[in-house]
Structure 1
Amino acid sequence: MSRAALVNPCRRRFLGQSGAGLVLALSGSTVALAQSAKPAAAQAFKPSAFISISPEGVVTLISKQPEIGQGIKTSLPMVIAEELSVNWRDVKIVQGDLDPIYGSQGAGGSTSTPTNYQDFLRLGATARTLLVQAAAQRWGVPVADCQARDSFVHHRPTGRKLGYGELASLAATLPLPDAASVQLKDPKDYQLLGQRIGGVDNASLVRGAPLFGIDVKLPGMLYAVYEKCPAFGGKVISANLAAVKALPGVRDAFVIEGTSNLNGLMPGVAIVAETTWAAFSARKQLRVQWDEGAVATQSWDGFAAQAAALRGKPGASSLRRDGDVEQALRASGAKVVEASYSYPFISHASMEPQNCTAWWKPESASLELWAPTQNPASGQNLVANTLNIPREKISLHITRSGGGFGRRLSSDFIVEAAAIAQRVAAPVKLCWSREDDLRHDHFRPGGFHHLRGAVDAQGRVSAWHNHFVTFANRVQREGQSVLQPGSGGSLSGDEFPGRWLPNILLEQTALECGVPMGPWRAPGSCVFAWVFHSFIDELAHAAGRDPLEMRLELLGDRDIVPPSNERGQPYHAGRMRAVLLEVAAKSGWGKKKFPRGQGQGMAFHFSHRGYIAEVAEVTVSKSGQLKVDRVVVVSDIGRQIVNLSGAENQVEGSVLDGLGTLMHAQLDLQRGRIVQGNLGEYPLLRMHESPTRVDVHFLRSDHPVTGLGEPALPPLAPAVCNAIFAATGHRVRQLPLSLSDLSWS
């Protein structure tokens, strides 16, 4: 859609009900404008698909991105509200359904804020401009004498003012202002952005209001469970369907053939009942004979043995080869360090298990969905392609999600609900159990890293070799069968310190597996940061150097380090040096003398356009009990913090999530299936294990705003592990920490 493209408001339910005079719709990175017929008096002023102002002065803002706990339902409307100069108390936030008029509606990769920020500023400013023009016309005064502030337009010479509600009808009749005449505020004049604003759903959450997908309730709704093969990709041979159908409250039970797509509709048996209890109870009586397939031969121990056999052998592919690593390793005076690091498959373990409510309406051949999803368009597309339903016949209501962390970017639970709904003449809610959620996740890939490095006689890093053994699924791509590493399971040749060292070799080998894999908070970065910054610490120790000093030396003097190809991103080394020096100052790095059993560790990482450095202080008892006493975090995420409360929460949440994962997260694969089934076997971080203090600091820089849902997580694990080494002399090379003996004497 071009800037001048027209949008037909009659096709949009939200707009069609309003009778609005103007439409501003996001299209990519542009703002598309359209003008419809003049509305009747006392109609709401709707200058945008995202903004509506009632004659009573209520300002309704649409939140188009899914809310998964990252605070986007509060922060993005704040951007519009700031430029609109509206009192936040007058604002009502409504979650938008899936609709092309809103543009991209995914929530992943910390992209929601950076991709919408500038457009939303302009949307708010355009609406403000129209309101000011309306007031000037009402008073018969120059526009320059009028100022919007606090939900009113003020006439500065006389002190008169008109509320936005009073101006709504007139503003809706005005032509759109020329884009050049719409002035954005100077950030120093911001009244809302950068403040601490509580989440718009907080009161509802405290009251237990029905906000989540699992809360959806419709008249005549039925409830479903879906039994899949314990071994990934297995097919149904037979099931005792007649016996299950005869159980109390059961309406139907049937086999769904499914597909071979690990990210789509897998084969299984559906049970539909009158209540959740009846469905779950009937499932206990279900007996299925499975064809488990070749994946039943796969196990973690087998993969670990394959990875061990690759130690010392060349990788299947070379990701970066600069200089001569072997010569640097053999150089006179070089100190060589060799180490192997490994980490397991892990689950997202979000608080709300996967669920979706689906309503197939045969009379219109249409499908209505309610889903806690991070990627509603992907869910719609998967359903359309799998079940052969035209996309325009599928509507999707976005509910709040009880955690996401990347899990709800996959839409398997949505297509399962849709397939079940096609078989019943009623709305049906599919709800996974906790066991389903842990055992049929799209897991963070495990991995193995075989590293060799050297420091020269001057204590500088002179060689770096990493052979990364990852996991991949076999998929069809353009008619070819290829191995595709799981999300976050492919190493970039530009990964730090890839662009900095004269002698470096990065290699990768993929082990074929049948485990479904998907993005997990800060994909790739969440584990690569731990491996690389732990190994940098090993090299610093071998050289007898301060880890901070070595990191600053590695970053060098360049401000910007360019990518190796057009697909990469420039690395602002100057920004990273700044956060590294700031975290050292805030934490008192090098100024404290710790007794045995206590220590400091540091790490930094660049991910999702954020520059983050962290220092951890730990105490480890002689028996090996770990307590994280303090974590200091310094972040550079651009020139503007949108919601300071939300930003602090995201950093603190990343620290807790990172620490819980570091300490406990592990799934065991045996016979092609996950062993763990509930939180008793897959523990999360407990309150007594949380850091005593988390100090959060932000550095402003003159760079575009970025997201904060992920970049603060990767540095946590290496900072804590490096602190453990400083305290005890134990180097942690295997995750989770529960596998390591940290005791000392």
Structure 2
Amino acid sequence: MNAPSAMSRRSFLSVSLVGGAVLTFGASLALAGEGEKEGVEPPVLNAFIRINADNSVVIGAKNPEIGQGVKTMLPMLIAEELDVDWEQVHIEQTLADEKIYGRQSAGGSRSTPVNWLPMRQAGAAARAMLAMAAASEWAVEPASLATGSGMVRHAASGRSATYASLAAVAAKITPPALDTVVLKPDDAFKIIGTSRRGGDTPAIVRGKPLFGIDTELPGMVHAALEACPVFQGTIASFDDKAVKAVKGVIAVVPVNTGLVPKGKFDALAIVADSWWTAQQARKQLTVEWDTGTLRAYSTEAYGKQASAALEGTPQGDVLKKGDVETALSGAARTLTARYDYPFLAHATLEPQNCTGLFEDGALTLWAPSQAPGSGRRQVAEMLDIAPDAITIHMTRIGGGFGRRLMSDYMVQVAQIARAVPGKPVKMLYTRADDTRHDYYRPGGWHELTAGLDEDGRLVALKDHFVSFGADGEPVRAAEMEETEFPAQIVPNVHFGVTYLPTNLPTGWLRAPTSNAMGFVFQSFLDEAAEAAGMDLPAFVLRLLGEDRELPKVGYAYQFNTGRARKVIEEVCKVSNWEAGRPAGASGKGRGFGFYFSHAGYFAEVVDVVVSQAGDIKVEKIWVAGDVGSHVINPLNALHQVQGAAIEGLAQAMIGQKVDQAEGAIVQENFDGFPLLRIDVVPQDVAVTFVTSQFPPTGLGEPALPPVIPALANAIHAATGKRIRSLPMALPDQTA
């Protein structure tokens, strides 16, 4: 993104000068106090903080909330340094405005590392301004003052004042430079590191409207979308006479979904006085689609093309290090295996939706978006309007997982809203729309070869990776990194790639690329460990060598072998790894997986029971992770890790896949793309955090990748059969 990742002093100052207009909250929050007029906004100390007359504090949460807890976590950072009690805090979602708030997105587990210092500095700067206000009134030095529980105190004179009584004066003080403010030492934390319930949880439990799908506005109309089932196909012709004859239908609007060139259309929106009317009228549409040769794309064709590609040489190289062929020819033992995994949908429980109002050349959106800034730019380009003419309200998101990093629903509703100016219009996908018009996690195929020396050490590693792309470049989320573990610590490595064409739009799915690569590489390393006569934890620990930071490569996160070692040792300790491993293929098995992604180090152990019929039951999962020096909200962190592990199981073991035939997606609902049911979820996902001296990082994603290979390796331990294809199937596909 082009927006700054941290709030600058200039934006901090300009915001504090514009007063209560910055955070546009309801008038009910504007509590009147002494000397204040009813309805006048309380003082705003900066873009994130407003002090109310009753000494409560409104803190703005700037990032999208998709269930990862950031709406609570970021205000915790501010509240800690502001030195108020958590019970004083009320949280409100800010507007999407990167000029004021800096980067606003939910993706890549970046919210914590990007905001760890800026949010604390915002709180500390406001605290300093309040202290300066008190010092001015009392004619004392600010250094002689102490703060706590929303109060400023002067011990020498016994005087004290609430933040509320000082806020009006403080708001007029020039804010200090953010890099000069004094932050609390770790041992003074009262909020950071304590478990806090999600701020929205009570409202969610009561079913109160929070999500994009809940948006209701006066005079609102509704839209259903009929999009070309074959991606990149366009409208050749259509007949909407029958649709317009349906009572309640307002308009039929040609729409560009964002997948075809500007000026072309690949969808029709039916706008009506209710969504049900729009959806029923949609069935009366007659559309001829121009799909050309796009119907040739299919899952079957991809499989044949991939098999042929693996028999040949790669089209290009991701990494060439040492001399792999010589090392393999001289190895004491070599092993080769092929792995594959399918396209996946995101299957968000809240289908894609967005509400828009186009009025007087300006657009207002209510969007459940993980990347509202990106959406703003795409909408502006599609409508040929200035980005500043677009206001975006961020609603809570009912499942993101990367799907809502794409802004197609914003672009689509913007076009519909412009066609019915002055009327708020809410567009809502059906479940079939959502499944058949996703941005899919791309499938892939790997042929790996490993060479071991006489001591069983990994001396050579080769992978021919086949996925999707064009002109030598991968499609979105089909990338392979040259730092893929364990490439940096093996002397001879060749990663080659071949890209197949596809018409499917692709996108990031939770722990993008890692969710697939972790399965492939950690499962294959388990095969190498077995060939070396070792278990996988011992094999990886020996591979890691001495504790050190490996050289940084490009934009990839720098890998620390010592941090990896500690989480592996910790998960083996808490799971009692050796003692808990059943002997032989007894139907019970224990598996291990390690992965480093999104700056997080995670090691996991899975215990399974496999029945004679091939049914897989996960009994327990142990997780050890290192996400830096602080776990800001332990309760939420626990839930994030447990949810990631459970989602990884869903991707692996219950038949999740997306098939394509004649250019279109076959699956339409949860019967074809199942979600993990509660009876399949293990009763215990035990989580341990290993703290380190490194700055905190995010954990929405890095806990997911290791669970899939740990499960696959556990099934091998239980049955003697290798899982080399996802979704998992026993017994015929593992022979």
Per-residue CA distance 1:445-471 (angstroms, 9 max, x = gap): 000001111222211112211000011
Q: 1:706 to 1:4 in 2, by over 3 A?
A: closer
Per-residue CA distance 1:354-387 (angstroms, 9 max, x = gap): 00111111xx211111110001011111111112
Q: CA deviation at 1:538?
A: 0.4
SS at 2:499's partner residue?
strand
1:329 aligns with 2:336: no
SS at 2:468's partner residue?
strand
1:219 aligns with 2:218: yes
SS at 1:310's partner residue?
helix
Deviates more, 1:536-545 or 1:44-53: 44-53
The alignment's TM-score, normalised by the length of structure 2, stands at 0.93
Q: 1:266 to 1:76 in 2, by over 3 A?
A: farther
Q: 1:435 to 1:310 in 2, by over 3 A?
A: same
Contact kept? 1:734, 1:740, Cα under 8 Å? no
SS at 2:679's partner residue?
helix
Matches within 5 A, 1:171-570: 171-177=170-176, 182-256=181-255, 260-261=259-260, 267-331=266-330, 334-361=332-359, 364-425=360-421, 426-472=423-469, 474=470, 482=471, 484-563=473-552, 565-570=553-558
Contact kept? 2:557, 2:598, Cα under 8 Å? no
SS at 2:209's partner residue?
coil
Q: 1:687 to 1:127 in 2, by over 3 A?
A: same
SS at 2:589's partner residue?
strand
Contact kept? 2:522, 2:593, Cα under 8 Å? yes
Q: 1:116 to 1:208 in 2, by over 3 A?
A: same
- Between the aligned partners of 1:207 and 1:626, the Cα distance in structure 2 is 36
- Between the aligned partners of 1:231 and 1:635, the Cα distance in structure 2 is 42
Q: 1:107 to 1:257 in 2, by over 3 A?
A: closer
Contact kept? 2:351, 2:434, Cα under 8 Å? yes
- Between the aligned partners of 2:317 and 2:461, the Cα distance in structure 1 is 14
Matches within 5 A, 1:637-652: 637-652=627-642
The equivalent position to 1:585 in structure 2, one of 573, 596, 601, is: 573
User: Which residue number corresponds to residue 28 of structure 2?
Assistant: none
The equivalent position to 1:691 in structure 2, one of 668, 678, 682, is: 682
Per-residue CA distance 1:99-130 (angstroms, 9 max, x = gap): 12111111111111111110111111111122
Per-residue CA distance 1:179-232 (angstroms, 9 max, x = gap): 576311111110001111000000110111111111111111110011111111
Counterpart code for 2:561: A
Q: 1:203 to 1:257 in 2, by over 3 A?
A: closer
- Between the aligned partners of 1:268 and 1:518, the Cα distance in structure 2 is 20
Contact kept? 1:265, 1:412, Cα under 8 Å? no
User: Which residue number corresponds to residue 142 of structure 2?
Assistant: 143
Contact kept? 2:468, 2:499, Cα under 8 Å? yes
- Between the aligned partners of 2:41 and 2:272, the Cα distance in structure 1 is 46
Q: CA deviation at 1:389?
A: 1.4
Counterpart code for 1:552: L
- Between the aligned partners of 1:392 and 1:174, the Cα distance in structure 2 is 29
SS at 1:689's partner residue?
coil
Q: CA deviation at 1:441?
A: 0.3
- Between the aligned partners of 2:689 and 2:259, the Cα distance in structure 1 is 46
Q: CA deviation at 1:621?
A: 1.4
Contact kept? 2:234, 2:264, Cα under 8 Å? no
Contact kept? 1:259, 1:265, Cα under 8 Å? no
The equivalent position to 1:48 in structure 2, one of 32, 35, 46, is: 46
Contact kept? 1:44, 1:55, Cα under 8 Å? yes
User: Which residue number corresponds to residue 32 of structure 2?
Assistant: none
User: Which residue number corresponds to residue 96 of structure 1?
Assistant: 94
SS at 2:441's partner residue?
coil
User: Which residue number corresponds to residue 675 of structure 1?
Assistant: 666
User: Which residue number corresponds to residue 713 of structure 1?
Assistant: 704
Contact kept? 2:564, 2:602, Cα under 8 Å? yes
Matches within 5 A, 1:3-18: 5=10, 8-9=14-15, 15=21
- Between the aligned partners of 1:133 and 1:90, the Cα distance in structure 2 is 22
SS at 1:327's partner residue?
helix
Q: 1:212 to 1:464 in 2, by over 3 A?
A: same
Contact kept? 2:581, 2:590, Cα under 8 Å? no
Deviates more, 1:501-510 or 1:259-268: 259-268
- Large movers: runs of 4+ above 6 Å: 10-13, 39-43, 262-265
Q: 1:127 to 1:294 in 2, by over 3 A?
A: same
Matches within 5 A, 1:609-628: 609-628=599-618
User: Which residue number corresponds to residue 23 of structure 1?
Assistant: none
Contact kept? 1:467, 1:509, Cα under 8 Å? yes
- Between the aligned partners of 1:119 and 1:629, the Cα distance in structure 2 is 42
RMSD: 2.4
Per-residue CA distance 1:128-185 (angstroms, 9 max, x = gap): 1222233344444443442111122233346553221122123223343465763111
Contact kept? 2:229, 2:664, Cα under 8 Å? yes
- Between the aligned partners of 1:144 and 1:8, the Cα distance in structure 2 is 26
Per-residue CA distance 1:664-723 (angstroms, 9 max, x = gap): 311111111110000111101000100121011111111111111100001010011111
Deviates more, 1:233-242 or 1:249-258: 249-258
Q: CA deviation at 1:603?
A: 1.1
Contact kept? 2:16, 2:46, Cα under 8 Å? no
Deviates more, 1:622-631 or 1:279-288: 279-288
Counterpart code for 1:95: Q
SS at 1:441's partner residue?
coil
Counterpart code for 2:82: L
- Between the aligned partners of 1:8 and 1:367, the Cα distance in structure 2 is 25
Q: 1:385 to 1:18 in 2, by over 3 A?
A: closer
Q: Which runs of 5+ in 1 are unaligned?
A: 20-38, 475-481
Contact kept? 1:417, 1:429, Cα under 8 Å? yes
1:571 aligns with 2:594: no
Contact kept? 1:105, 1:375, Cα under 8 Å? yes
Q: 1:540 to 1:130 in 2, by over 3 A?
A: same
- Between the aligned partners of 1:492 and 1:234, the Cα distance in structure 2 is 32
Contact kept? 2:19, 2:44, Cα under 8 Å? no
- Between the two proteins, the alignment pairs up a number of residues equal to 713
Q: 1:267 to 1:65 in 2, by over 3 A?
A: same
Q: 1:58 to 1:503 in 2, by over 3 A?
A: same
The alignment's TM-score, normalised by the length of structure 1, stands at 0.92
- Between the aligned partners of 2:557 and 2:551, the Cα distance in structure 1 is 7
